[in-house]
A and B are shown apart, each in its own frame.
Chain A
Amino acid sequence: MFDVEVRDITKRFGRVLAVDHVSLAVEKGRFVTLLGPSGCGKTTTLRIIGGFETADSGSVLIGGTAADELPPFQRDTSMVFQDYALFPHMTVEDNVAFGLRMRHLPDKEIRQKVVEALDLVDLPDVGSRRPSQLSGGQRQRVALARSLVIQPLVLLLDEPLGALDAKTRKQMQIELKNLQKKLGQTFIYVTHDQEEALTMSDVMMIMNAGRVEQVGTPSEIYERPASRFVADFLGHQNLIAAKFMGLDGNLAVVAQEELGQLRGVFTSGRVPLPGSDVVFSVRGENIRIGAPGAGLVDGRLVSRVYRGAITRNTVRVGSLEISIETTGPQSFAIGDLVSLDWQDRDCVVIGEERQESGG
């Protein structure tokens, strides 16, 4: 049985199709991330699960029972909002105790649970303060404690780290993930930050224009993007148009004007007809730069951007510009002729854009 099952939901706002036939099944204890650009329908999907929006069609099951008719206060879910949504007129303690009071627990038990919850999020000493007296990171923790303390079946998180500075965000990512593992709590997490999603998730669902593009583990999604959109969104820089030739074992063979014959893992379900358009992708960190003639193809190093841990090089091969990420000292100068080399298994071949997702 799944903690949450979303079955083919669709939601329109006026003429905008926000969620378009989305299905999702979340197993107990999993950290599932809905990832996509703003307006892709991820937050709407989350709000439908939480009961804040009603789907036009399809249904949502929580803990195995249909929840479509249930208002938020009767669902076994709890939401951590992007802007925290802490009650400004209550102390931190009262905020955390809110859900417990609604469940009519004895005062003594409430006090004990509130203390435990604040300990859990590492905020033992702020109970008597008002939310306005806390930092962004602290407010986020209080919001988390407030939702966790009622022990929901599923915790829903709507870009909870979106308003934090980069450093606090990185730290909270780790803490949140550890907390989730420790509690075995099912998380459904919405973000537009691919790095955040890759860091934290057990399962990622990539959304675009209301539709599901791909579902998989972070490494599956990152290394084997099934659509051009997913590859692009996850930062694949070298998306090169090519023609499909055929299959060679489990590798796809493609022809590219400048690069010749290339091989890569075929990631999109249906095998295209020979001669159809496909996208060949090799990630910058998988390309090695060497002396001319020593690799698969030769080109000229045209620019270099130093970015700290890595250096981003651009090599021009005919009319193509290929990005290569290198680390450590650079052995070539701008203007040099260099060769590029990569492994076939590090490359992917993505079938042409699904026609139905074009709209």
Chain B
Amino acid sequence: MAKRLAPNTKGGRPVKTGQFLRGSAGLWLAPIAGWQLLFYLAPVAYVFLSGFWTMKDFRLTPSWTLANYRQILSEPMYYRAYVTSLGLSLGTVALTIALAYPLAYCLAFIVPRKHRPVLLVALIAPFWTNYLVRAYSWQTILANSGVLNYVLMALGIVKAPVEILFTHRATTIGLVHYLLAIMTLNLYTTLENIEPRLLEASQDLGANRLQTFFRVTLPLSSGGLVTGSMFIFVLAFADFVSPAVLGGQMQRVFPQLVVDAVQWTVNWPVASAFAVIMVATILLIAGLLGRKLNVTGGAVK
């Protein structure tokens, strides 16, 4: 009974809640740490290790060989796929920024606050549609006999159908459509957090609207730009739906090689090596962007 009345006592002395929480931080973190260890770090370690293993008689056999990496690096097709993937994802990042920035700016500074929820829902709504379905629906729009070419030819803008589907132009369109909302939301939250007084102060000191944008708004939104770019790059670089459904099979991208290695050649060690190279690339880009974040101080409130 006494214990129930004084739950925060330890050996008769009162224990401050803060101390109690701090003292047992490990305990509180244990479930999530265990989860991460079991379902994330362990598989990643397994993938990393198996990149050095070999397939013997269709069986994964532990070894310590660099043959998988050597195979990948010596094959021009793989190299081309890597460069294609890199170009595609960086292009997607650039395009989403170009489209999302004006959109987010408009939402944060021009649209009255009471209308924003509706527009934000409209922005997120496409996310509720399955990505694969969205990718396939782009096929009907972008095909040689699709909606887009029909309209372009009907208007007399082009004579012959523009070849978009089954090229990486279509892949880029699919990726941008898939990822635009993420970038927009990232930018919207940072732009919305910019103190309006700062923009007033800038104008007060003699900067016109354009100067205010480049000297105050843009630098203060660099945090959102960088985190948004990281998201977009990671998702675009690892995506194989848009390349497969919209980009055709001619110019393969890196994630497709992983799929090939797993499904067709059943060479798991090579697939692992591909995966490790992808992870390394993503870490490298994230590191570069992260440094940019520190330099510009975009995260400094």
CB distance from B195 to the nearest CB of A (A): 7
**C-alpha spacing A88/B221, complex, angstroms:** 12
Please tell me if the beta carbons of B200 and A102 are within 8 angstroms of each other in the complex.
no
Find the A residue at minimum CB distance from B200. A52
**C-alpha spacing A31/B198, complex, angstroms:** 25
Q: Return the CB mask of A70-84 against B: 1 if under 8 Å, else 0.
A: 011100011101010
Interface status of A286 (Cβ within 8 A of chain B) = no
Interface status of B161 (Cβ within 8 A of chain A) = no
Pick from B198, B204, B211, B301: contact of A72, CB under 8 Å: B204
**C-alpha spacing A130/B297, complex, angstroms:** 10
**C-alpha spacing A78/B204, complex, angstroms:** 6
**C-alpha spacing A89/B296, complex, angstroms:** 7
Please tell me if the beta carbons of B205 and A102 are within 8 angstroms of each other in the complex.
yes
Inside 8 A of A85's CB, which chain B residues have their CB? 195, 197-198, 200-201
Please tell me if the beta carbons of B205 and A78 are within 8 angstroms of each other in the complex.
yes
Interface status of A98 (Cβ within 8 A of chain B) = yes
CB distance from B297 to the nearest CB of A (A): 5
Q: A-B pairs with CB below 8 Å: how many?
A: 66
Interface status of B203 (Cβ within 8 A of chain A) = yes
Number of residues from A at the complex interface, CB < 8 A: 24
Find the B residue at minimum CB distance from A131. B300
Please tell me if the beta carbons of A88 and B220 are within 8 angstroms of each other in the complex.
yes
**C-alpha spacing A78/B203, complex, angstroms:** 10
Q: Which of B219-276 contact A (CB under 8 A)?
A: 219-220
Interface status of B216 (Cβ within 8 A of chain A) = yes
Interface status of B130 (Cβ within 8 A of chain A) = no
CB distance from B190 to the nearest CB of A (A): 12
Please tell me if the beta carbons of B211 and A102 are within 8 angstroms of each other in the complex.
yes
Q: Which of A154-194 contact B (CB under 8 A)?
A: none
Please tell me if the beta carbons of A88 and B301 are within 8 angstroms of each other in the complex.
yes
**C-alpha spacing A195/B211, complex, angstroms:** 40
Interface status of A87 (Cβ within 8 A of chain B) = yes
With A73-B207, A89-B219, A130-B300: A98-B197 Cβ-Cβ less than 8 Å: no
Pick from B200, B203, B297: contact of A89, CB under 8 Å: B297
Inside 8 A of A78's CB, which chain B residues have their CB? 204-205
Given contacts A88-B297, A150-B206, 17 further A-B contacts (CB under 8 A): A52-B200, A52-B204, A71-B203, A72-B200, A72-B203, A73-B204, A73-B207, A77-B204, A78-B204, A79-B200, A83-B195, A85-B198, A87-B198, A89-B300, A102-B211, A147-B204, A147-B205
A and B contact pairs by CB, cutoff 8 A, 18 listed? A52-B200, A71-B203, A71-B208, A73-B203, A73-B204, A73-B206, A79-B200, A83-B195, A85-B197, A85-B201, A87-B202, A88-B301, A89-B219, A89-B300, A102-B205, A132-B301, A146-B205, A147-B204
